[in-house]
Amino acid sequence: MTPLKKIFILLTLIFSSNIHAQVITDFVYQIGFPEYSLWVLKNQGTQRFNEALSPVLVHQPIETQLSGVSIQGQQDSKISIENEKNRSFQVQTTLRNISINVESLISDGYIERNNDNFNLKIHIHGECSKLQAHLLNENYQINTFLIMNEQSGQLQFNINAIDLPNDDLIWAVDTERCVGPRGFADEALQAIENKLKDRWFIQEALMQALQRKMNTLVNEINSKLFILSEHKLSNDLNLSIHPKTLRFGNDNQLLILGEASLSSILNPYETKISFRYFPEEFNRMAFILPENSLHEIFRFLYKSRVLSQNFYSNQIDGFKSLMKSRFKQFFVWPDLMNFKKKTNFLFQTAPQQEPILQDLSANNGALQGQLYSYVNLHMLAPVDSSWTPYIVFESHVLTEAKMEIQNQKLNIAFENSRINYSDHWDSSYVSKYHPNQRISNSSIRTRIEEALNDYRLDFNLPTLDFYKEQFIPYELGFKNENVFIYYRNQGDEPSVNSTNPTSESQNRNFNNPFSSDYYN
């Protein structure tokens, strides 16, 4: 794996999973109304329900307490968007096989009777258990109006209103057991039937049942929206993404805000990056990072020594072709003729300063920027069955990095690469072997630059799963110092010429000491 691949690996991993914190950056998931409305719309169809209700108090003819009350049955729901601006939905529901169960009924009180000028006060106490009331109206249809809101940084569904038909409600009420004075059972069942014919009571009971059902649904959605995802990159490098809160934007976008963090045991350095300008709101699904997070990530990788690595000469096409030709070696690098053509050299590379990404811009769904670094490359030769220090190359590297998404992968290409290097022969090697120290800098430089321009990197980008929908990455954007990674529903085709921040270039002074003339 090359140093550049190590640099850019975070651009892929930052969208997946992780752990604690050294570099911490704010991020925003932005989800448009067409996407998050599906969380409600997908719940239409036929469903069974069984919901507990609050205890019921009936005052006629005496005070009667109903406990263990529940409503159950089958609902066939058709959900439509009533008002996108208010995030409201209309739910047309047909109820079938509706029954209300009551675990216990307790009547306790007094009734007064006037008989021949005598007032009698009679204490009545009775109990019934396992009562059932069956709704005889077939295909009972109701309309419910649901509103999606935010409360305390979490998603919430509220039943705003419920409309019942004007038809009278017809119930059949029965009980397994009643104990009380003669006629008490008939009076108790009649009292329950009268209560169930009360439209306000039924409306409240249905609202309770539907609200609890909506609460169950929204709790499930919230639990999935705020999952902390973790990923171990190596023994000492960890990454985490932690959604923390949400709110709605001016155009009804759902904005999920949180922190992503990168940590290393070897790295005592810590910093926090926040949005300088909060992301502009476009009604598209996106993962958004402040631009400064990219620069801090490069600094973190450098300080964590993640970019330091080893590779071999047979991994470089230009060097392999040089090793095959003694004629080329004579003019380019004479000392290589002292080695066999199949000799494989070891390179140990490490940046000597923080990589700098500057002049970031976006066009047609791709990001472009100048990447600068200063690198030391230690070349070791296999001599006497051991690696012997041979040459040290020191080089300034400037390349144009282009990042775009192809087939759900982050593709990174390099163009117009330029280097300006110097070489230093190892003094021990020189004193022992007295090599010809001539190296054609222009030839070596050209080979390395061509190799960089031909280099391509591909990284798998994860899909985003929100409730019952899956979204895939397809486009990059940049605006107001924020980087946008756009997602779409897996079954949809990307829109053409869609409004998005992918055409803005923002140049800032990074105090780069090397102008392009330096490489000429």
Whether residue 285 sits in one domain with residue 431: yes
Do the Cβ atoms of 306 and 351 come closer than 8 Å?
A: no
Asked whether residue 243 is assigned to any structural domain, the reply reads no
Pairing assessment for the beta strands 409-425 and 309-312 based on DSSP bridges: unpaired
The answer, yes or no, to whether residue 393 has pLDDT greater than 80, is yes
Whether residue 332 sits in one domain with residue 366: yes
Q: Average pLDDT for residues 488-514, to the nearest whole number?
A: 48
Partners of 39 in the β-ladder: none
Whether residue 269 sits in one domain with residue 174: no
Domain boundary among 223, 242, 272: 223
Whether residue 70 sits in one domain with residue 22: no
For residue 152, count other CB atoms closer than 10 A to its CB: 6
CATH number of the domain bearing residue 206: 3.15.10
Residue among 293, 273, 255, 358 at smallest CA distance from 31: 255
**What is the spatial distance between Cα 24 and Cα 27, in angstroms, rounded to a whole number?**
10
Domain boundary among 174, 201, 223: 223
Tracing tokens 């502009």 back to the chain, one arrives at 280
Asked whether residue 15 is assigned to any structural domain, the reply reads yes
For residue 167, count other CB atoms closer than 10 A to its CB: 10
Residue among 410, 412, 415, 404 at smallest CA distance from 452: 415
Tracing tokens 């014919």 back to the chain, one arrives at 197
pLDDT in tens, 218-245: 998 898 888 887 766 556 667 777 889 9
Partners of 207 in the β-ladder: none
The total of structural domains in the chain comes to 2
Whether residue 12 sits in one domain with residue 56: no
Asked whether residue 57 is assigned to any structural domain, the reply reads yes
Ranges 238-242, 317-321, 434-438: which has the least confidence: 238-242
The answer, yes or no, to whether residue 73 has pLDDT greater than 70, is yes
Whether residue 505 sits in one domain with residue 376: yes
Whether residue 276 sits in one domain with residue 215: no
Asked whether residue 409 is assigned to any structural domain, the reply reads yes
Q: Is 59 left (phi over 0), alpha (psi -120 to 50) or beta?
A: alpha
**What is the spatial distance between Cα 201 and Cα 162, in angstroms, rounded to a whole number?**
12
Kindly report the backbone phi and psi dihedral angles of residue 318, in degrees, each rounded to the nearest multiple of 5, phi listed first. -60, -35
Q: Average pLDDT for residues 130-135, to the nearest whole number?
A: 92
pLDDT in tens, 338-375: 999 999 999 887 888 888 888 999 999 999 999 888 88
Asked whether residue 278 is assigned to any structural domain, the reply reads yes
**What is the spatial distance between Cα 267 and Cα 300, in angstroms, rounded to a whole number?**
8
Do the Cβ atoms of 387 and 350 come closer than 8 Å?
A: no
pLDDT value at residue 517: 43
pLDDT value at residue 192: 86
Average pLDDT taken over every residue of the chain: 81
**What is the spatial distance between Cα 301 and Cα 7, in angstroms, rounded to a whole number?**
7
Per-residue CA distances from 438 to 155, 330, 396, 441, 520 (Å): 69, 10, 21, 9, 21
pLDDT band at 512 (very low <50, low <70, confident <90, very high): very low
Whether residue 379 sits in one domain with residue 481: yes
Domain boundary among 223, 239, 266: 223
Whether residue 48 sits in one domain with residue 89: yes
Tracing tokens 């599906």 back to the chain, one arrives at 38
Ranges 304-308, 314-318, 437-441, 444-448: which has the least confidence: 304-308
pLDDT in tens, 261-289: 877 766 555 666 676 666 766 667 888 88
CATH number of the domain bearing residue 439: 3.15.20
Per-residue CA distances from 498 to 284, 486, 493, 502 (Å): 10, 11, 12, 10
Q: Average pLDDT for residues 155-181, to the nearest whole number?
A: 88
What residues contact 509, with CB distance under 8 A and at least 6 apart?
A: none
**What is the spatial distance between Cα 171 and Cα 167, in angstroms, rounded to a whole number?**
13
pLDDT value at residue 332: 92
**What is the spatial distance between Cα 170 and Cα 24, in angstroms, rounded to a whole number?**
62
The whole-model pTM stands at: 0.69
pLDDT value at residue 281: 60
For residue 265, count other CB atoms closer than 10 A to its CB: 12
For residue 490, count other CB atoms closer than 10 A to its CB: 11
**What is the spatial distance between Cα 274 and Cα 259, in angstroms, rounded to a whole number?**
9
Q: Within its chain, how far is the Cα of 389 from the centroid?
A: 47
**What is the spatial distance between Cα 341 and Cα 344, in angstroms, rounded to a whole number?**
9
Asked whether residue 228 is assigned to any structural domain, the reply reads no
Range of the domain at 156: 36-223
Q: Is 426 helix (H, G, I), strand (E, B) or coil?
A: coil
Amino acid sitting at position 36: Y
pLDDT value at residue 513: 32
Whether residue 310 sits in one domain with residue 162: no
Do the Cβ atoms of 138 and 130 come closer than 8 Å?
A: no
More confident residue, 425 or 206: 425
**What are the CB-based long-range contacts (under 8 Å, 24+) for 467-471?**
467/38, 467/39, 467/42, 467/220, 467/221, 467/224, 468/38, 468/39, 468/42, 469/35, 469/38, 469/39, 469/42, 471/35, 471/285
Quick one: tokens of 456?
């391509």
Whether residue 292 sits in one domain with residue 208: no
Whether residue 452 sits in one domain with residue 432: yes
The answer, yes or no, to whether residue 18 has pLDDT greater than 70, is no
Asked whether residue 246 is assigned to any structural domain, the reply reads no
E strand or H helix at 203, and its extent? helix 199-225
Asked whether residue 242 is assigned to any structural domain, the reply reads no
Partners of 213 in the β-ladder: none
pLDDT band at 502 (very low <50, low <70, confident <90, very high): very low
